[in-house]
Amino acid sequence: MVAGFLGDWFVRKTLWSSPTAVKESAASFKKFYGYLLDVKGMISKEDYNEMCLEIKENLAEWADNAKLDDDWGW
């Protein structure tokens, strides 16, 4: 689900999407889900690790997508 948000929806639907914004959002996802894991016990360690791996493997591509979409040429 993270890929659908950061890799597609966020880049297409937000005016402030940029490579930096994608990276900051990815870091926020990690922190929030880390909180859900550690404090609330609402997600499993396996789910958390899977999400982190997905972010690690795809973040550069998502940031590049934001760069291409942000090229308004103004």
Walking along the chain (74 residues) 10 residues at a time, the average pLDDT comes out as 89 86 94 92 93 95 79 49
Inter-CA distances, 67 with 4, 28, 51, 71, Å: 17, 20, 23, 6
pLDDT of residue 35: 95
Instruction: Give the orientation angle of helix 45-69 with respect to helix 19-35, to 10 degrees.
Output: 170
pLDDT of residue 13: 87
pLDDT of residue 70: 53
- Residue-range domain boundaries for the chain: 33-69
**Integer distance in angstroms from the first to the last C-alpha of the chain?**
32
Q: What residues contact 10, with CB distance under 8 A and at least 6 apart?
A: 17, 21, 22, 25, 66
